Amino acid sequence: MEPSELGAPVRLHALSYLEDGEDVVIGRTDTDSYGVFPADGAALLRRLADGEPPGAAARWYAETYGEPVDLEEFLGVLAELDFLVEGDSGSDGPDPVRPLRWQRLGRALFSPPAWALYGVVLASAVVAMVATPRLLPHNGNVFFTQHLTVLMATLFLGQFPLILIHEAAHALAGRRLGVRSRLRVARRLFFVVFETSLDGLIVVPRNKRYLPILVGMFTDLLVLAVLTLVAAATLDPAGRPSLVGRVCLALAFTTFLRFCWQFYFHLRTDLYQLAVTALGCQDLQAAAKRVLGNHARRLVGRPARDTAGLHPRDLQVARWYCWPMLAGYTLSTVMLFAVGFPVLWRSVTIAGARFAEGGGTWLHVADSTLFLALTLGQFGFAAFLAVRSRLLRRRVPATSHLTT
């Protein structure tokens, strides 16, 4: 198709542009469709978005950069990314972007008065812990009751609203910037996790991405502080919390464990996303796996796989990041076999013996049933997610997105 044949302007949806080194990230924040363009391609796209006919834009490109452009292929890429407006909506400009839900709430929650309130809450919790060390998070707080069935059910069910608060903080911090978000269930190694997809951060300036990434950890600390203050309010004259206070302290300790979980970089946690953003990477985990795989292939005398498709910055960082990632996976696997499986096997054996013998009180039977359902159910669900993820990868090409 000759440029002279492309005289009618094309209509494009509202697009966001972000210069990222030598490239420009361009996308639609309303559909989370993004592409990385070279600077000359982004300049050409801007002229088309300004209403310049494709033929005239192609001639400008050839005069400016000294080489022709394949307009048919370029427009095909735009259509594949869903940048082009299909049909006739009765307007010459791009379709207006609908306001994002919960954007005002996000701005209110991260306004200066809100930050001042959060500071007061955190400081009050620290003062309470210093005055009453009993309120500090420690594993003894988990056993708020002698009834294991009640304990396990409370801790298991009590985590879900707290996890949702963590993920909602990510989502609202992103929405205050106009970034769409999605919550989904995923798997990290053999753990079932919740994650919030914030693909739209890719077109947000780098210095504005840090709050949406780190706010989940901050929210965990805030939740821990609130639970601690509630427990402090229930202390009797002897310094002992009530049942409500003990439950709050148990949930505060599990919240503290979730906060520590974020330091497991190799499982693509919030701090991993922070490192990826600060280092200017795109998909560091995939690059590190490719580098490690090539090291392994060379050891057995097989040719290395091509790395030409990887982002140069990812490849540069992956050369050293691959070793901490390998160490993290190794430690997690060793702990699973050295600690997790033996404890699980012993517990399952005890529970199975109770059923086989037909003895024990109804509380023992209920305790065993609940334990098996919660423990084996989590591992079974993780296996289901792993199988489903593998099947989806076979059907749909992999895409890169930023999640927390």
Q: What is d(CA 240, CA 292) in angstroms, rounded to the nearest whole number? A: 52
Q: What's the rounded mean pLDDT across residues 10-16?
A: 88
Please give the pLDDT value at position 386: 59
User: Two tokens at 17?
Assistant: 């542009």
Q: What's the rounded mean pLDDT across residues 59-85?
A: 90
What would the pLDDT profile of 309-319 be if each residue is shown by its tens digit? Answer: 888 889 999 99
Please give the pLDDT value at position 187: 60
Q: Could you give the count of Cα atoms lying within 13 Å of 328 in the half-sphere of its Cβ?
A: 20
pLDDT score of 55 more than 60: yes
pLDDT score of 19 more than 90: no
Indicate the pTM of the whole model: 0.74
Burial letters for 200-231: b for 16+ Cβ neighbours within 10 Å, e otherwise? bbbbbeeeebebbbbbbbbbbbbbbbbbbbbb
Pick the closest to residue 267 from 223, 219, 333 (CA basis). Answer: 333
pLDDT score of 365 more than 70: no
Could you tell me which residues are beta bridge partners of residue 182?
A: 197
Q: How confident is the model at residue 185 (pLDDT cuts 50, 70, 90)?
A: low
What would the pLDDT profile of 130-182 be if each residue is shown by its tens digit? Answer: 999 999 998 888 888 776 667 777 887 888 899 999 999 999 999 998 888 87
User: Beta strand 191-197 with 182-188: parallel, antiparallel or unpaired?
Assistant: antiparallel
Burial letters for 348-382: b for 16+ Cβ neighbours within 10 Å, e otherwise? eeebeebeeeeeeeeebbbbbebbeeebeeeeeeb
The mean predicted confidence, pLDDT, of the chain is: 81
Q: What percent of the chain has pLDDT over 70?
A: 76
Q: How confident is the model at residue 358 (pLDDT cuts 50, 70, 90)?
A: low
Q: Give me the residue label for tokens 């423990």.
A: 375
